[in-house]
Amino acid sequence: MDATEICFTPATALAAAIRARTLSPVEIVDAVLARIERLNPRISAYITVDAEGARAAARAAEAAVMRGGPLPPLHGLPVPIKDLEPVAGLRCTYGSKFYADNVADADGIVAERVKAAGGIVIGKTNTSHYGYRDTSDNLIGPPCRNPWRLDRTSGGSSGGAAAAVAAGLGPVAHGSDGAGSIRIPAAFCGVFGFKPSLGRVPLWPTVDIWAARGHNGPIARTVADAALLLGAMAGPDARDPLSIDAPPDDYAAAVREPQPAVRGLRVAWSADFGYAALDPEVRRLATAAAERFTSLGAHVELLAPAWDDPRAAAATMWQAAFATRLAERLVAEPSWFEPELAGMIEAGGRVSGVELGRAMYARTAFHAQVQRVFDRYDLLLTPQMPAGAWPVEGPPTAIGGTPTPGMFDRLPFTYPFNLTGHPAASVPCGFTPDGLPAALQIVGRWHADTLVLKAAAAFEQAAPWAARRPAL
């Protein structure tokens, strides 16, 4: 197997090859590092690469293989960590000039668990300034670009993670999702992304645990690979009081035989919720993908959800959160802020306590409205992003003839399920005439992470996507 094939071999196959001693962790890490060295200057998927540390960890992993005995699930696999998550001894910028030279002194929960599962942290992936928007660009380095078309964005804020996986710069990657930040770049980059239920993977460190919007999760080329990484990350932790206080399922085992779990399910399909912007070509691709669930044995019904448009409440909470965190820094160093982020902070500073309280009440009411859908249906299908990846220079002001003046206008299918905490997966479902990936979203009931993964695996079996690679 040559180096390129190693870089595009599924993580589950790499893990099996390590155990069979047909591939060593050193070979795998060397192949991925060589590809990063060649391609990262064009893509900027990584902010920081720890070649020396990764090679040392790979040699230790290889020695453990040769000694024999049981190996943890990610043993010897390179795993990049998003640069909003601290990794002890590595630069952690948060995409901010304030932290351009910051070195973390301790691991966050995700890094801690990836290492405990045998994963090798190979570097930190690109993100926006504190993950504030749906692209992965900041003022400390070049913007992350889409491997399918380098003039387009990778999405955000886990865009570096998705671009790395799509380009073969890592078999799996960690992402985080506060308004769609796993699913946006997964959709734009043609890979699989999974936002687990709120609390399935603990969130720590964080300055606002009670916001209850942030989700850590996996990005991968296959559902099985994502399930492997999720299994290593999931499980309760007292440092996150919202973490689900129950052991996680064996996700890797659950996705091996997915189709029986899909047969007989009641599945709702909504193309636009009655208000969302949507490109006609993406509508066509996502509709065809949703129809595949009928052939898989599910009962698919068209849904016109009777829920309120949550954009105003979501924007209010988002802006207030960034104002609370960054307003003083904006005053101190205004040139260190992007205009869009500065505008969000200024808008958040004008939000009154009563207005924020009303937005939180609206979130509660919206959760009840969504829950009524899941009283009737096992799964909800939607398009994932309303258009293919837009230019690196900036987002569209309209999609499918509908104005999209603000960020939440162009994320109609992602942030609602951060407000509610439901599990949601982004599965590739084809390409637009411009050669840009499109994706279908699969949303599940409260805590039904395993069912969403099994449904995604069934779809992948019927319409596989991982064999297609960007021409780089």
181 catalytically annotated: yes
Distance CA 340, CA 330 (A): 12
408-427 burial by CB neighbour count: b if 16+ within 10 A, else e?
bbbbbbbbbbbbbbbbbbbb
Residue with tokens 């197997």: 1
Q: Is the torsion defined by CA of 110, 111, 113, 119 positive or negative?
A: positive
* 444 within 8 A of 378, measured Cβ to Cβ: yes
- Give the three-class secondary structure for 351: coil
Active-site annotation holder among 44, 157, 270, 426: 157
Side by side, which strands form the sheet with 379-383?
Answer: 172-177, 215-220, 192-195, 424-431, 437-444, 379-383, 266-269, 299-302
Instruction: Give the span between the Cα atoms of 278 and 161, in whole angstroms.
Output: 25
DSSP run (H or E) holding 267: strand 266-269
The answer to whether the beta carbons of residues 148 and 166 sit under 8 Å apart is yes
- DSSP state, 281? H
Q: Which of 128, 136, 176, 181 is catalytic?
A: 181
Whether the Cβ atoms of residue 353 and residue 359 lie closer than 8 Å to each other: no
Q: In this structure, are strands 266-269 and 379-383 parallel, antiparallel, or unpaired?
A: parallel
Instruction: Read off the tokens for 87.
Output: 């990794």
Going by C-alpha positions, the residue among 32, 36, 29 that lies closest to residue 61 is: 29
Among residues 82, 115, 124, 454, the one annotated as catalytic is: 82
Q: CB neighbours (10 Å) of residue 37?
A: 12
| 197 catalytically annotated | no
Bridge partners, 322 (sequence order): none
Whether 82 is catalytic is yes
120: phi then psi, degrees, rounded to nearest 5: -110, 115
Active site residues: 82, 157, 181
